[in-house]
Structure formats: C-alpha cells, structure tokens
Amino acid sequence: MPNYHIWTIGCQMNKAESERLAALFEESGYQATEDAADADLIVINTCVVRQNAEDRAVHKLENFKPLKKDRPDMLIA
C-alpha cells in the first residue's frame, strides 16, 4: 500500500484542505505516514498570502531534496 505525507502550514483553511486531501488519498488506497522518508507522495500545503509561510515551504522543500534524490519515484507536490 502506498504512503502519503502532508506537511501543512497556514490558516484553518489550509488545515481543512489537507484533511480533505488526506481523505481522498485514503479513499484511493494510500496510507498516512508521519515520516516523510516513508512516503511515496509528499504534499506541501502552504499559504501563498504570507511570505513567512512561503519561505518555510521553500526551506521544507530543501529538506526533502535528499529524499527525492534517494527515491526518484517519490512524488512531491
């Protein structure tokens, strides 16, 4: 069974969107994982209104780079 990891930053709307995504992934046969290294799919859900949130998302992407390098089949959205 494939795994997904969602990293969310922002307002309650972002959190609600992440919950809806999680439900859709689980309906599609994915299982949640707290450890991004175990994920086949990573979603970064951030607020585009606040620069601080965008900066943190870019930093998080940098953290995920080694995971993608080790597992090129991993999807990051």
Per-residue confidence (pLDDT) for residue 26, from 0 to 100: 98
What is the pLDDT tens value at each position of the chain, 77 positions in all?
999 999 999 888 999 999 999 999 999 999 999 999 999 999 999 887 778 888 888 999 999 999 999 999 999 99
Per-residue confidence (pLDDT) for residue 21, from 0 to 100: 97
Total of domains in the chain = 1
Rg for the chain (alpha carbons), in Å? Answer: 12
Range of the domain at 22: 3-76
**How far is it, in rounded angstroms, from Cα 19 to Cα 23?**
6
